[in-house]
Structure 1
Amino acid sequence: MVSSNNKEVVSELSPILRVYKDGTVERFFNSPHAPPSPLGNTTGVLSKDIAITPDISARLYLPKLASSANEKLPILVYFHGGGFCIESPFSILCHRYINSIVSQSNVIAVSVDYRLAPEHPLPIAYQDSWAALQWVASHNTTTKTTKKDPWLIRHGDFNRVYLGGDSSGANIAHNMAMQAGIETLHGDMKIYGLVLCQPYFCGSKLFGNESLVEKRLLHETWMFVYPDAKGGIDNPMINPFAYGSPRLSQIQCHRLFVCVASKDELRERGVYYCNAVKESGWKGEVDLYEVEGEGHAFHFFDFDGEKAQDMVKRLAAFLC
C-alpha cells in the first residue's frame, strides 16, 4: 500500500495513525503543544517539565496556595489517554485539564510522559509508568540514588498519593494500583486513592449494551499497541474481568472514583468495574459518577462546557 506522499505504508490504525516502511509514524490526532508556566498563569498554578530518566519525563504542577508556604498537599500521579499511541502531558488538551484540576483541588500533580506505541509497544508504557511512580515514591525516602524534585520534597504529602488517568491512562492507573498491591514502592509508599475517567477496558465478551461494531476499534487498538499480549484482548491488563486475572481485591488504595459518560462505548465496562470491585471483597470507598448525554473524552473536546466543568469540580472535590 502506498500513501499520497508516495511512501510505502506497512501498517495503520485508522483513523489514528499510519506506519511507513522507513520507520516513520504519522499521527493524525496529536493536539498542539502547550508550554509549561514556570511563573504561573491566570489560575496561579506553576508548572515545569522534568526528566525522570533518559526515556521518561513529566510535567509537574504546583498550586498557588503552596507556592510560598511549606504546606503539605496531596499528590496526583496522572497518566494521559490516547490509546497508548497518541497525545502527551505537554499537549494543550492535557495541560489545561490538569492545570484546572490542580487549581481547584489544591494538589501537586505529576503528569507522566510514558513512551508510545507503535515505536515502543506495550508493555513499555506500563514499565515507564511504574518507573515514574517509583521515582515519586523515592521522595519519601532518604536515598540519594535519584535526582529529587524540590516541589515534591517540600510540599508532597506521601500519605495522600492518588493515581489518575483518562481512557488508556485510566487503564494504566488501574494497573499501577494492582501492581502496587503486589510489589513494594520505595519508602513503603501506599496509594491512597484512584481516579479513573472513562477507563479503557475491553474483552471478547460483550457486556450490557455493548456492540461488536463499537468494540472493533477498541479491539484493533489493543492488538496494534500490544501485538504480543498473552490472551490477546482478554489479557488481564486490558480485561481485568478475564479468567485468571488477579483479584480486584488486591487494588492498593482506599478510595476509588470512576467517571463514565452515558454515550461512551466504554461506559458499560466502567460501571461493571465499579460493581466488580465492590463484590471482590475490597474494603475501600467506591464513587461512581456518570455524565448524561456525553461521549468519550468530552471533557477534553468541550472543556469549557458546563458538563465538563462540573466533572472537573466533582473530581477535584474527591481529591481534596
Structure 2
Amino acid sequence: MASNTNKEVLTDLSPLIKLYKDGTVERLLNSPHVPPSPVDPTAGVFSKDINISPVVQARLYLPKLADPHQKLPVLVYYHGGGFCVESAFSFLNHRYINILAAEAKALIISVEYRLAPEHPLPVAYEDSWSALQWVASHVIANTSIEKDPWLTEHGDFGKFYIGGDSAGGNIAHNILVRAGTEPLPGDVKILGGFLSHPHFWGSKPIGLEGKEDIEESLLCRIWLFVYPSVHGGIDNPMVNPFADNAPSLSGLGCSRLLVCLAEKDLLTERGIHYVDSVKKSGWNGEVQMVVVEGEDHCFHFFDPHTEKAKNLIKLLASFVSQ
C-alpha cells in the first residue's frame, strides 16, 4: 500500500480498486488467499485446488459422505467482486463455500476466472463457460479431459446447478442464457441456477434508481473499466438483460431459478424487475425470489454468522439439494 503513495492514479474506483498510470493494480477490497483444507474442522468439508485448463483454476469442495458411494448434487459457483477483485481462493470465499457445501451436502466447484483489468471482459465469461463445460464432461465415458475422481465418483449430474453472488450472479445469468442455445458436453442439463444480489445495470432508471446519475455511478464506472471494449456501454445485454437487443429471458437454460436480494442494496430494484421479466417472458420454469429486509449487498457473504445470513444460506442450500 505504502509503495503506491507517490504514484499517479489513472483510474480510482475506491473502495474497490485503483489502477495507476504505470500499470500497477491495487485491489482495495480483497481478502487474503488461504489454502484448501484437507478437512474443515467446523463444517466437515474437504477441499482441494485443481487446474481446469492452463488459464482456469477452481477449488473443489466435498462434504463428509454418509457412505463411500454417495452421490451429491453438483454446483458450479462463480464468486463476486465486480469482475476485478476477490478470488475462489480468498478467505471470504473459502469460508462461505465451506458453509454452503456443508449445509447443502453438495459437491461445489468454485471457479477461479481471470480478473480485469489485466484480463478485461469477456474473459471472465469465457473462463466460466469453459469451467462449466469441463465439469459437464465428466459424464462422457471417452473424453480427452483429465477427470477429477470427486466428480466421477460422487457427482449426481441429474442435480446440476450453477450460482453466484453479485458479479458472479451476473455471470450465472449469462451462462444460463448461453446454455439455452448451446448444449453442454454429454447433453448435461442445468437443473437450477441461483442469482444472489446479481450485478445488473443500465441507462434507464428502474424504481428508485433515478435519484442519482446512473451514468456517473460507481456501478457504471466499474462496468466500463472491466469491459472497455464493450458495445453499447451499460446497455450491453451482458449487464442489462432488459436492453432492446438482449436475448429473450424465455430461453434461460435451466428449470428452476432462485433470485436473492437485499432491501438496502442498490441493485435490488433491478433484481425484482429481472424476476418480473422472467415471469412475463414465457420461460417454462419455476422462479423464486427472496428480499431480505434491513440488509445490504451480499451481507451473508461478508458475515455468514448472523441469523439472517444463516437463513439465506439455508435457503440457497435447500435450493441446491432438491
Q: Same fold (TM over 0.5)?
A: yes
Counterparts of 2:213 and 2:320, CA distance in 1: 32
- Distance across 1 between alignment mates of 2:27 and 2:43: 31
Residue aligning to 1:275: 276
8 A Cα contact 2:262 2:292, kept in partner: yes
Q: CA separation in 2, counterparts of 1:244 and 1:298?
A: 33
Question: How far 1:183 sits from its partner (Å)?
Answer: 1.0
Alpha-carbon distance between aligned partners in 2 of 1:143 and 1:23, rounded to the nearest angstrom:
44
Tell me which residue corresponds to 2:19: 19
- Tell me, what secondary structure is at the counterpart of 2:73? strand
| CA deviation after TM superposition for structure 1 residue 7, in Å | 2.5
In 1, Cα distance between equivalents of 2:211 and 2:58: 36
Q: Against the structure 1 CA distance between its residues 133 and 162, is the aligned structure 2 distance closer, same or farther, given a 3 Å change threshold?
A: same
Q: Does the 8 Å contact 1:43/1:64 carry over to 2?
A: no
Taking the aligned partners of 1:270 and 1:191, their CA distance within structure 2 comes to: 21
Structure 2 residue runs of 5 or longer lacking an equivalent are none
Which residue of structure 1 aligns with residue 222 of structure 2? 221
Paired position in structure 1 for 2:312? 311
* Conserved? CA contact 2:14–2:28, under 8 Å: no
Q: How many residues align?
A: 317
Contact 1:198 1:296 in 2 (8 A): yes
> For residues 288 and 223 of structure 1, what CA distance do their matches in structure 2 show?
29
How far apart are 1:228 and its partner, in Å?
1.1
Partner of 1:104: 103
User: Within 2, Cα distance between the matches of 1:217 and 1:290?
Assistant: 23
Name the counterpart of 1:33. Answer: 33
Shift of 1:71: 1.5
Counterparts in 2 of 1:154 and 1:4: CA distance versus 1, 3 Å: closer
Please list every run of at least 4 consecutive aligned residues from structure 1 whose deviation after the TM superposition is greater than 6 angstroms. Answer: none
Distance 2:21 2:124 in 1: 23
Counterpart of 1:130 in structure 2 is 129
Deviation at 1:213, TM superposition (A): 2.9
SS in 2 for 1:115: coil
Question: Deviation per CA, 1:273-312, whole angstroms, max 9, x where unpaired?
Answer: 1111111001111110110000111112222111101100
User: Aligned-residue CA RMSD in angstroms?
Assistant: 1.4
Aligned to 1:161: 160
Q: CA deviation at 1:95?
A: 1.1
Structure 1 gaps of 5+ residues are none
Name the % identity.
Answer: 58
Shift of 1:33: 1.9
1:158-213 Cα distance to aligned partner (Å, 9 max, x none): 11111100000000001001101111211111110001100111100111122353
1:115 alignment partner in structure 2: 114
TM-score (norm 2): 0.95
1:15: Cα distance to partner?
2.6
In the aligned structure 2, how far is the partner of 1:145 from the partner of 1:302? Answer: 41
CA 1:244–1:51: 2 relative to 1, 3 Å: same
State how far apart, in whole Å, the 2-side matches of 1:33 and 1:256 are.
31
What CA distance in whole angstroms lies between the structure 1 residues aligned with 2:307 and 2:266?
22
Q: Distance in 2 between the 1:163 and 1:195 partners?
A: 7
